Amino acid sequence: MAGRVAGKRALVTGGAGGLGRAMARMLAREGAKVAITDVDGAAADALAEEINAEVPGAAFGFAHDVADEARWAEVVADAVEAMGGLSVLVNNAGIGGDLVFVEGDTAANWDRQYQVNLRSVMFGCKHAMPHLRAAAPASIINISSIAGLAAGPGMGAYNATKAGVWMYTKTVALEAAKAEWNVRCNSVHPVFIKTPILDPFVAMAGGDEGAAHQKLARGIPLKRIGEPDDVAFCVLYLASDESKFVTGAEFKIDGGMTAQ
């Protein structure tokens, strides 16, 4: 099949959620096979079925908690078998949660965000790397956040874990470059994008989604929050060989937010 990622074999974690869903659809439409993994395995299967109705044989669903290293090993092996290899890894799964301020913060909050947002990215890179090397040219795309580059009150654990994803991406990029594996690794940093991860902000606005989104858009120079495809287009570029000279870089999808 023709397309910008024709012949690529991609694994997208948290693939049934707002951003992952847009990425999986776009990669499949552009010619890739896609393993959609999510802690909600039924949602991953349902999305794979939807995509296969449009692009037959393109998608596979897997139940996968990214905090669980043993499950990473199984899912990577199963995805490689289903797709015939692995050339793109998108570490997308992540959690936000309620705002927690410094004096009320807890070990449980930090441990959970660390496990799901940051340590998972190491597991993914570790278990995918032998397959990515075998399928090179290959690409790892880690979904950080603008919150990994700029802080916000009440977001201590999220800021810290997303900053960790940003820096870990560079470590992996440099290791792979030094070893001449032809595996690139980059991070993507979205600002607010319309997905369920923004639900706590909607709850704070008394359930009024429009009002919540408007409020979030106030600090953004383009005066709106993003759409999932705004991020998916960046992932598509990084998954494709169009970005073959790009590694260890960060991509801000933020409507100009951090230009201020």
Ligand X SMILES: NC(=O)c1ccc[n+]([C@@H]2O[C@H](COP(=O)([O-])OP(=O)(O)OC[C@H]3O[C@@H](n4cnc5c(N)ncnc54)[C@H](O)[C@@H]3O)[C@@H](O)[C@H]2O)c1
Contact set with ligand X (CB under 6 A) = 13-14, 16-20, 38-40, 64-67, 92-95, 116, 143, 145, 190, 192-193, 195-198
CB of 245 to ligand X, least distance (A): 25
Out of 114, 158, 168, 237, pick the active-site residue.
158
What is the spatial distance between Cα 149 and Cα 154, in angstroms, rounded to a whole number? Answer: 15
- Angle between helical axes of 18-29 and 228-239 (0-180°, round to 10): 50
C-alpha dist (Å) from residue 47 to 9, 85, 126, 230: 17, 21, 26, 20
- Give me the residues paired with residue 11 across strands: 35, 89
CB of 136 to ligand X, least distance (A): 25
Q: CA triplet 62, 173, 18: central angle to 5 degrees?
A: 35
Which residue's CB is nearer to ligand X, number 182 or number 214?
A: 214
CB of 207 to ligand X, least distance (A): 17
CB of 165 to ligand X, least distance (A): 8
CB of 251 to ligand X, least distance (A): 12
62: nearest Cα among 94, 6, 20, 30: 20
Which residue's CB is nearer to ligand X, number 14 or number 255?
A: 14
Which residue's CB is nearer to ligand X, number 113 or number 139?
A: 113
Which residue's CB is nearer to ligand X, number 181 or number 233?
A: 233
Name the CA radius of gyration of the chain, rounded.
Answer: 17
CB of 156 to ligand X, least distance (A): 15
What is the spatial distance between Cα 49 and Cα 59, in angstroms, rounded to a whole number? Answer: 7
Which residue's CB is nearer to ligand X, number 42 or number 134?
A: 42
Which residue's CB is nearer to ligand X, number 2 or number 107?
A: 107
Active site residue 158: yes
Instruction: Please state the φ and ψ torsions of residue 196, each to the nearest 5 degrees.
Output: -60, -15
> Annotated catalytic sites, by residue?
158
